Amino acid sequence: MKLSIIVPMYNSEKYIRTCLDSLVKQDLCIDDYEIIIINDGSSDNSEEIVKEYMKQYPQISLYSQENEGQSRVRNKGISLARGQYVCLVHSPYN
């Protein structure tokens, strides 16, 4: 795997679809990248939206935790990454 894309998410219901659409429409082979979504304790429908995407896009994975803040979310994503390269993409935090 070449690339791990980490997306911290907190109450991003309004934006997460746009973010994921942008990521899955890249000109990359599905085997070359993974998208790791870290749900940082969202209380909206963000997690359900990501679960819908996961049914269609096997390169997306979701991890949930209680709210710990962006720096801990980034570190969690990095620890889970399997790619040779890591990219952080932020769905806007509300």
Per-residue confidence (pLDDT) for residue 90, from 0 to 100? 80
Cβ neighbours of 30 (radius 10 Å): 10
d(CA 33, CA 82): 9
Q: What is the mean pLDDT of each run of 10 residues along the chain (94 residues)?
A: 96 95 94 97 97 98 95 96 95 60
**Domain 3-88: CATH architecture, name and number where available:** Alpha-Beta Complex (3.90)
Break the chain into its structural domains and give their ranges: 3-88
Phi/psi for 15 (5° steps) reads -120, -20
- For β-strands 3-9 and 33-40, DSSP reports them as parallel
Specify the pTM.
Answer: 0.93
